[in-house]
Chains A and B, each alone.
Chain A
Amino acid sequence: MIFKRPEGLTNTPWRYCPGCGHGIVHRLIGEVIDELGIREKTIGIAPVGCSVFMYEYFNCDMIQTAHGRAPAVATGIKRSHPDLICFSYQGDGDLAAIGTAETVHSAARGENFTIIFINNTIYGMTGGQQAPTTMPGQKTTTNPYGRDTRIHGFPIRVCEMLATLDGPVYLERVAVNKPVNVIRAKRAISKAIKLQVDNKGFSLVEILSPCPTGWGLSPKSACEYMDKVMLPYYPLGVFKDLIK
C-alpha cells in the first residue's frame, strides 16, 4: 500500500463542506502525528466552530473546550504533564476574537504547546458572520454591505502581532489553497510540533484556509480568491523562528 489513512486519524467521515480546508489540515496533522510517533502521548484540543467535531476525527486523546479557551486548557494540561504533547486547533473567531487574551498570554508565557490556527476570515459554523480576520470589503451575514473599515475596523494579523512578543519560538503563516502551499503547510506543522517535543516552547502555525460556503464561491474560485485577495493582506512566511 502506498497511500493510506494516517494512524493519527479515525475512520469517521468528516462533515465538512466541499472545498473546505479543514479536511486538508486534519490530514496534515494526522500525518505529522504518525511521522513523529507521538499518537500515544498526544492530547488534541477541539475548539468551538466547524472543527468542534474534530474530537471524533483524531485517533488520540481529545478534549473539547469553550470558545476561545483552548490555550488556557492547553496550559493546564502541559504544566501538569509536560511529557504529553498538546496541540489546539482554533479558528479565527475562536483565537483572535473571544480568545485573544488566552492566545496572547499563553504566547507571552512561552507555554510549550502548539496552536494550529485556521484563518478563513469568517465564522463558519454559526452561518458566516464577520470574523476578526474578515477582509476589508468582504461580505458576511453581519455586514451584508461588506466590511467597511471605518465602521467595522480592520482585520487582525495574528502572526505579526504575536511576533512582537518574546515568548513564542516559532510563528509561521502558510496556506492550503494549492499543492505547493499544502506541502509547505505540512512542513510548518511538523516543525512546530517537533519544537514542542524538544521542549522549545510556544509555536503557532497560521493556516489560510478556504471556506467556499461562507464566501459564496465555488471550491476552485475560493482557492483563487485566496491568492488574489487574502495572501496580499496576509503574507505567507516565517514571522519568528528562534531555533533555526
Chain B
Amino acid sequence: MPHTKMPAGAVSVRKCLAALGGLWVFLGLSAAFAQEVNLYSARHYESDKTLYALFEKETGIKVNVVSANAPELIERIKREGASTNADLFITVDGGVLNTAKNAGILQAIVSPITLENVPAALRERENHWVGLTTRARVIVYSKARVRPDQLSTYEDLASPKWKGKIVARPSSGLYDQSLLASLIALDGEEKALAWVKGVAANFARPPKGNDRAQAKDIVAGLGDVALMNTYYIGQMLHSKDPEEVRAAQEVGIFFPNQKTTGTHRNVSGVALTKHAKNPENAIRFIEFLTSVPAQERFSADNYEFPANPKARKHPLLESWGTFRTQDIDFSALSAHNAKAIRFFAEGGWK
C-alpha cells in the first residue's frame, strides 16, 4: 500500500463494513434458536402457514421454513450432506417424494401415532415419507357442450371423437408427467405412448397455460375437455376474482376410469431427512400435521383430500362423493418419470 493519509470518509466506510458484518452475525445467530424444527417445503399454501403458527403456539417449537421448488430443494439437501439445515422435506408429488428417498437423503419415520393417522397406501413402504393430503387429476368439461355420459376414461381422450376438442397444458408440468407415468405403469409403455399421440392429435390448440387457464379456455369455447387438479377447481370457485368464479361454474368435473383402473390420484407428503438435527421436534410436527384438526384445515383452506380418513372433507369435496382411485405404488411415478418426459416429446405433446 502506498503511504497515504487516510481521508475522513474512509473511517465511516470502515464503520459501515463493521456494521454489515454485525448484521450477518445477527442474521446467523437469529436462525440458531434452541427449540426449533427446520423445514424445506415445496408447498406454498396459506393453509400451511396457518398450521405452522398453530404448532408454534401449541408446543413452543419454532418452525423455520424455506420454500422453493422441490427438485432444487432435493439437490440442496444432497449438496449440504451431513451438515444439512433441513429436518423435514415437504412436497406435492409422490414421484418426487420417492426421488428424494432414492437420493438417500431421507430416514424412516418412527412414530406409532403417525402410522395410525395415515393409511398404508399413503405412506412409503418403509415410512420414509408419509402423505399429508391427496388430489385427483380429473376431466373438466364444458357444461354447455358435453354430457357427462360422453366421458369415460383417460384412455378415451385419445379417441378420434375428441378431435379438436382437447385443451392441455405443456408437458413440462409435473401433473401430466405423473399422470402419464401412472398410465405407463397400468397400461404398459406401448399403449401409453399411443395415448400421448392420440391426445396430441386431438388438441384444439398447442399446449399452453396452467390448470386454471385450461378451464377458462373451455368456457371461452376453444375446447371442450381438459385435465385439471381437483383443488384448483375449489380455488377457482372461491377466487377473489368474480370472473374466475363465473368461469369455474361453467365447467363440470368428471372422475374418469371408475369402471376400470380408477382416477389418478397424487399425494403431497412430508419426509424426515437423514441428517435431521432436531428429529424429536420433527416427529412431533409430523404427528401434528397428520392429526385430525390439522388435516381438516388442509381440506378447508386448500380443497385437498385429507390423508387421515377420520378428518372431515371440505363440503365441496364431500359433494363429489367417493370415487375409485388408481391402485399403484407412488414409486411408479418417479420410476417412469423420465420415460414420461420422452413419450411426451416423441408423441408431439409439447
Q: Do A and B come from one complex?
A: no
